[in-house]
Amino acid sequence: MRFREVCIVSLLGVLALAASSAQAATMRCGSNLISEGELIVDVIRKCGEPAQRQVVGPAVDANGYVAKGAATIENWVYGPSNGAYQYLRFVDGRLVEIRTRMN
């Protein structure tokens, strides 16, 4: 019976760790909140235009056609706000990463 209890406690610990690491990052824009998975149009509506915006188009093949599986990447910067910059990364129009860096 003791072995079973240890296994259950261990399993619960692993599940709790997995659940906490699966949470999406968020960013506050005034009274709005954005999170990973949102579309570009929603982020602009909630936060306005970024201070910096870099767009890297999808890769093209030798004939000038978009390569299969290629994606458009956008890197945005908001800030500074209270000494912090917010770095957002979009892949094909969807927010996939939010990072905060103090300056």
Does residue 17 lie in a domain region? no
Partnered with residue 75 across adjacent β-strands are 54, 89
Does residue 60 lie in a domain region? yes
- pTM summary value: 0.74
Q: What is the DSSP letter of 68?
A: T
Residue the block writes with tokens 């709005």: 32
Number of structural domains, the chain?
1
Query: What mean pLDDT comes out for the span 63-72?
Result: 93
CATH number at residue 85: 3.30.1450.10
* Whole-number average pLDDT of the chain: 84
Q: What percent of the chain has pLDDT over 70?
A: 78
Both tokens of residue 91? 């892949």
Contact 77, 90 (CB under 8 A): no
State which residues form the domain around 94: 24-102
pLDDT tens digits for range 5-45: 543 444 444 344 444 445 679 999 999 999 999 999 999 99
Query: What mean pLDDT comes out for the span 67-84?
Result: 94
Does residue 78 lie in a domain region? yes
Does residue 41 lie in a domain region? yes
